[in-house]
């Protein structure tokens, strides 16, 4: 393993220790661990010669100017630094840390690029804390909307309130960080998150399209009743209905090329072993 690869592995291992939950890797939008992760990665950016800032939506931005001057276009490299709960260490951080290591190696070799580079550590991609994904990239690209700010987390904190706290009490919807004509493009290195490359014994692939996400919160309402005395033909079991919906969604995805469907969370009320479920709330 060469020195660059060793440095990348060390960075990945160290960043994996920055978490909100001891014993598992969890970093969510604007959490304390995200703040610590930004600080750690910013230090590594500085060591590679990048100037850093954290923008109003919590994105970490490291910039390397071009020696050709202010008119040089910019290549964007990056990924996200937030995680799902109990995450792996490569999903997201690989795409942030690898460009840092590559730029450090170019600096060591005294290689000057004819364009500027920005390495981006997006603050939110996974949609874990709030039921809204891509908040970081939406903010960076100027696509964040006022309606996005109304989503609330499990504690009732809205995105607007979280962003106001991050920005010292006030938050305004950001403009795009760049105009299109200023950019060369955007490149993201990412783990596959699937079995296809491994099955084909390929080390790397070039992505031609990505999965578009549509998320919904669904509530099935039934009628509670005693589980031991209510006949089956008189039941309105919300969980049974939700289960039928889940199987129908899976069947639809299986027969539709390119479509996937996942029910990832579900809560049942009243949630007792001897009571027919009156309500099932789940994600799609």
The domain defined by 217-283 folds into Alpha-Beta Plaits (3.30.70)
Q: Which of 73-77, 127-131, 172-176, 250-254 has the lowest mean pLDDT?
A: 127-131
Question: Nearest 5°: phi and psi at 192?
Answer: -70, -40
Q: Which of 137-146, 157-166, 207-216, 248-257 has the lowest mean pLDDT?
A: 207-216
Identical topology for domains 3-200 and 217-283: no
Q: Give the position of tokens 């919906």.
A: 245
Span 19-25, mean pLDDT?
96
Distance CA 42, CA 7 (A): 15
pLDDT of 195 over the 80 cut: yes
Strand order in the sheet with 60-64: 51-54, 60-64, 116-122, 74-80, 183-187
Tell me the Cα Rg of the chain: 23
Listed by start position, the domains of the chain span: 3-200, 217-283
At 41-61, the pLDDT tens digits run 999 999 999 999 999 999 999
Alpha helices, H only, 143-273: 159-166, 196-200, 238-255
**The pLDDT of residue 69:** 76
> Residue 73: is it exposed, middle or buried by C-beta count within 10 angstroms (0-12/13-18/19+)?
middle
| CATH class of the 3-200 domain in this structure | alpha beta
**The pLDDT of residue 232:** 97
Nearest to 130, CA basis, from 155, 106, 113? 155
At 227-242, the pLDDT tens digits run 999 999 999 999 999 9
At 60-82, the pLDDT tens digits run 999 999 988 778 999 999 999 99
Nearest to 44, CA basis, from 119, 114, 117? 119
């Amino acid at each position: 393993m060469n020195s660059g690869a060793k440095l990348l592995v060390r960075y990945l291992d160290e960043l994996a220790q920055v978490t909100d939950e001891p014993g598992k890797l969890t970093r969510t939008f604007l959490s304390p661990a995200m703040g610590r992760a930004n600080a750690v990665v910013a230090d590594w950016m500085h060591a590679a010669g990048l100037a850093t800032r954290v923008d109003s939506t919590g994105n970490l931005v490291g910039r390397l100017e071009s020696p050709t001057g202010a008119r040089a276009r910019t290549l964007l490299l990056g990924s996200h630094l937030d995680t799902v709960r109990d995450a792996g260490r490569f999903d997201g951080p690989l795409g942030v840390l690898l460009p840092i290591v590559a730029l450090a190696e170019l600096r060591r070799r005294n290689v000057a690029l004819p364009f500027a580079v920005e390495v981006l550590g997006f603050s939110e991609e996974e949609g874990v804390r709030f039921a809204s994904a891509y908040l970081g990239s939406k903010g960076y690209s100027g696509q964040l909307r006022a309606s996005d700010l109304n989503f609330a987390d499990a504690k009732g904190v809205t995105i607007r309130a979280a962003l106001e706290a991050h920005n010292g009490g006030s938050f305004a919807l950001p403009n795009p960080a760049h105009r299109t004509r200023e950019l060369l493009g955007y490149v993201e290195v990412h783990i596959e998150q699937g079995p296809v490359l491994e099955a084909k014994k390929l080390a790397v692939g070039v992505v031609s399209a990505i999965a578009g996400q549509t998320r919904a919160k669904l509530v099935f309402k039934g009628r509670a009743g005693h589980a031991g005395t209510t006949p089956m033909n008189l039941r309105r079991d919300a969980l049974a209905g939700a289960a039928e919906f889940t199987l129908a969604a899976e069947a639809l995805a299986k027969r539709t090329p390119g479509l996937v469907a996942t029910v990832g969370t579900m809560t049942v009320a009243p949630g007792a072993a001897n009571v027919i479920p009156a309500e099932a709330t789940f994600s799609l």
